[in-house]
Structure 1
Amino acid sequence: MTRMDRVVKGGRVYFGGRLQNADLWIRDGKIASLGGAHRAEETIDGRGKIVLPGAIDVHVHFRDPGYTFKEDWETGSTSAVAGGVTTVVDQPNTDPPTVDARSYRMKLDIAERRSVVDFGLNGGPGDVKRLAALGAAAIGEIFTYDHDDDGLQKILNETAKAGLLPTIHAEDREVIQENTEPLRDRREPELYSLARPNRAESRAIEKVLEMAERAHICHLSTSEGLDLIRAAKSKGRRVSCEVAPHHLIFTKRDWRRQGTFLKMNPPLRDFRDKDALWDGLRKGDVDVIASDHAPHLPEEKKDEIWDAPPGVPGVETMLPLMLVAVRSNLLSLDRLVDALSRRPAEIFGLASKGAIAVGKDADLAIIDPRAASEIRADRLHSGAEWTPYEGRRALFPAITVIRGEVVYSDGELFAKPGFGRNIPGPGRKNMARARSED
């Protein structure tokens, strides 16, 4: 009888493509056995609960360094684990932006001291070779509207040469400018969807597909964009994409209720796009669900439409909202696990993450399916202090486990800042050489 560190006992565990009654045994932070007779020093009570692989959110903005009045690594990562997210990939548009060795090391040092969740750090379009060597998870999100065609091509070429994945914020600058200028003197929030129409996204995706052999499209929002990605995949192209919960839940009609609080890039679309995104997600054409967690304070979001900052918080509510979608038959549990765990791990090279299987990190979201509740901002952990999902039904995890350690249980955080570990990207093996060149 093997001695184990912990056992999750009596739960229905998701492995082998379905929920199965099995005890999950943990040793040295890894899943050591599924079923079998062993002994454990500690028991996690899984009775009446389902045990899922921890969610991987490949698109968060934790605002640290530079904008810590909105969020920092401690509040952002606490919000993540409270929502069943066990690994995040942080974006580079902080202050300073993560575009060179100095800024990357600064952010890495902060995250290693403050994060309670495991993490990767994306590098921005700057010193791509050095960022790859230091361990950047990917390059991006690359905002296509910040670059002309030659500049974008150069970034994509450098990223490919460095062996990293380019992650793309796909909105075309010329289309945005053309549609925004006639509206500048008006203040109705719903105009923002007209200023950044569907064509802005599809045109940018077209350009990227012309320029790059491999790409990941962030926060897909349109049926036209989905059609382009489907066509590219059918031809064997190495393209993947993600959808954010806000584009699956809200449409342009919701401008009337929440106004500038729902300003985001890309903006809200219509029901046709929302239905297409759900269809793409169900069929697997949309690979990943990612929150695009972009916190701003309420007083900032109250500004008029052209000045309010774009983005909504969502890392803590992503899995809970999608579990309710599963219960409502909008999505299968298998596809949800695929989109929140397996595919993110595959696309971003997180080899130890993404599944409940022997040898993988014991990263778990343990859910009581009877414990649905209403989302309330005052119960959430983000520094943003508000949520666009106020009052919506959700299934929050009872327990979150990272590398075999209970980090969150029944509303209480057990991990200390600095528990989270960096997961370097594929260029990390060259780090010693990069340091020697400094």
Structure 2
Amino acid sequence: MPDLLIKNAKIFYANYLQPAEIVIDEGKISRIVKEADVTAGEIIDADGSLVIPAGIDVHVHFREPGLTQKEDWYTGSCAAAAGGITTVIDHPNTLPPTVDKKSFEEKLKLASRKSIVDFGIHGGVTNNLDKLHELWEEGVTAFGEIFMAESTGGLNIDATTLECALGFIKQFGALAAIHAEDDSIRRECEALLKNDVSPSSHSRTRPNLCEAAAVQKAVELLRKTGARGHICHVSAFEALGVLARDRYIARQKGLPTITCEVTPHHLFLSTRDWDRLGSFGKMNPPLRDRRNVKFLLNSLNDGSVDIVASDHAPHCENEKDVDIKTSPAGVPGVETLMPLMLMAVKKNLLPLGRMIDATSAAPARIFGLDRHHKGRLEVGFDADLIIVDTKRITHIKGDHLHGKSKWTPFEGFEAIFPKITISRGDVIWDGEISASYGRGIFLPGKGKIVDIDEHH
């Protein structure tokens, strides 16, 4: 007898919404049919609601170890579950940063003890080139985000170190996830604007050119070394132009694509929001004007942008509520990613199929999580699903969110939150958290030798 049956569902299959019933056994999807006609241990009546793959957020900062006043693995994973995310990948700028075997093992132990969603861990790249191999063998998902300019955590490196690191990453067959901002342009702009304390000055200290120049340099080094690359949180249309040109050349030469992601805060916020947000709107890369926002959305629609990721980077309110120069960069976002994207579909800003691919299938494919049976509503894949009533539109309220940060840059925005979140066949959110500490499992990267099915 199967463990779970979801009946009276609507699924997106072969580019159409179709009625379906989904049979789940031992955490995996075992059948997808119009009428299952089976007895299951548990039955969920979707009552005509949409059932789609749960989100995979490849860019979160859960702040543990070392910064648990901002977030920890339990609260961060609860926020993920409540927002329809069942797999996350954590980035390395914690205290200590994840830059060697010891720090990796410390983070893995904490995450395994606390996380209610499945997870991967990225390895940091600083002046630790001799440690990259041990990080790869420990099972990091990828290397990054690799900071080309100063940002939260102080892990930025110069071009020479980046090139050497990419050489190692190429040898491993790993992926480099790059935070592309040009540090010399940043320093020059910050010097010119040192007396400007208006919140909007932050957008001018890291202008479009700052990002585009760094993306150009990153592309050159990736092609020179032959390493696979992924550009984090693209926000400037000139940077997308650099990537589009490289994609065209790569297709002609049969080279792998350099992929990229966009965040909801760069899709749905702009420089118009500085007056409302003040220093709470500070993030890197910064808020851009409406021209960039429209270009990003068009690029997500046409596939030039591969992934939507939150760059969930929470800070305490008292840390953010200071002048723009002192305020740390970063905003929370893991819980609001899927609700905002579902609302964008509702508003016809992008098709449902494109949204599903950008939040589940593409992240799994690019970051190697498909080898763990993640990212698709298909037989044999993990039953990581969300049940969504697309008519149930709510307004985002920071006080109602489940992370430690009870604020959000999307306060008052319309959104569609999931009714139920299912992770490997377990209901982990149904209006409240219904999962225990540490039920999430670690999804090791390709460098760690492990039997995937046995690991599951």
Normalising by structure 2, report the TM-score: 0.92
CA contact (8 A) 2:185 2:206 kept: yes
Question: Which stretch shows the higher mean deviation, 317-326 or 36-45?
Answer: 36-45
Residue 182 (structure 1) shift: 1.3
> What SS is found at the alignment partner of 1:178?
helix
Deviations 1:113-152 (A, max 9, x none): 0000000000101311111100000000000122222111
Tell me the equivalent position of 1:353.
374
Tell me the equivalent position of 2:397.
376
Correspondences of 1:255-294 after superposition (within 5 Å): 255-294=274-313
Instruction: Find the partner of 1:329 among 337, 348, 351.
Output: 348
Q: Distance in 2 between matches of 1:17 and 1:63?
A: 39
What amino acid sits opposite 2:357 in the alignment? Answer: D
Specify every segment of 5 or more residues in structure 2 that has no aligned partner in the other structure, as ranges.
150-155, 452-456
What amino acid sits opposite 1:345 in the alignment? Answer: A
Question: Which stretch shows the higher mean deviation, 36-45 or 356-365?
Answer: 36-45
CA contact (8 A) 1:4 1:25 kept: yes
Instruction: Find the partner of 2:413 among 374, 379, 392.
Output: 392
CA contact (8 A) 2:364 2:375 kept: yes
Residue 430 (structure 1) shift: 8.1
What amino acid sits opposite 2:379 in the alignment? Answer: V
CA contact (8 A) 2:388 2:417 kept: yes
Tell me the equivalent position of 2:184.
174
> What SS is found at the alignment partner of 2:278?
helix
What amino acid sits opposite 2:278 in the alignment? Answer: G
Normalising by structure 1, report the TM-score: 0.96
CA contact (8 A) 2:49 2:389 kept: yes
Instruction: Find the partner of 2:236 among 208, 216, 222.
Output: 222
Q: Distance in 1 between matches of 2:15 and 2:95?
A: 42
Correspondences of 1:110-129 after superposition (within 5 Å): 110-125=110-125, 126=128, 127-129=131-133
CA contact (8 A) 1:133 1:430 kept: no
Q: Distance in 2 between matches of 1:152 and 1:92?
A: 16
CA contact (8 A) 2:400 2:406 kept: no
CA contact (8 A) 1:84 1:316 kept: yes
Tell me the equivalent position of 1:86.
86
CA contact (8 A) 2:346 2:390 kept: no
> What SS is found at the alignment partner of 1:390?
coil
What amino acid sits opposite 1:232 in the alignment? Answer: D
Percent pairwise identity: 46
Tell me the equivalent position of 2:427.
406
Q: Distance in 2 between matches of 1:67 and 1:153?
A: 30
Tell me the equivalent position of 2:7.
9
CA contact (8 A) 1:83 1:315 kept: yes
What amino acid sits opposite 1:134 in the alignment? Answer: E
Are residues 1:187 and 2:197 paired?
Answer: yes
Are residues 1:132 and 2:146 paired?
Answer: no
Are residues 1:233 and 2:252 paired?
Answer: no
Q: Distance in 2 between matches of 1:148 and 1:403?
A: 41
Residue 302 (structure 1) shift: 0.8
Q: Distance in 2 between matches of 1:109 and 1:18?
A: 42
Specify every segment of 5 or more residues in structure 1 that has no aligned partner in the other structure, as ranges.
432-438
Question: Which stretch shows the higher mean deviation, 168-177 or 229-238?
Answer: 229-238
The Cα RMSD (Å) is 1.1
Are residues 1:418 and 2:438 paired?
Answer: yes
What amino acid sits opposite 1:245 in the alignment? Answer: P
Q: Distance in 2 between matches of 1:262 and 1:42?
A: 44
What amino acid sits opposite 2:248 in the alignment? Answer: S
Q: Distance in 2 between matches of 1:323 and 1:92?
A: 29
Q: Distance in 1 between matches of 2:81 and 2:14?
A: 24
Q: Distance in 2 between matches of 1:170 and 1:404?
A: 38
Q: Distance in 1 between matches of 2:358 and 2:123?
A: 23
Residue 257 (structure 1) shift: 1.3
Q: Distance in 1 between matches of 2:415 and 2:213?
A: 35
CA contact (8 A) 2:142 2:176 kept: yes
What amino acid sits opposite 2:378 in the alignment? Answer: A
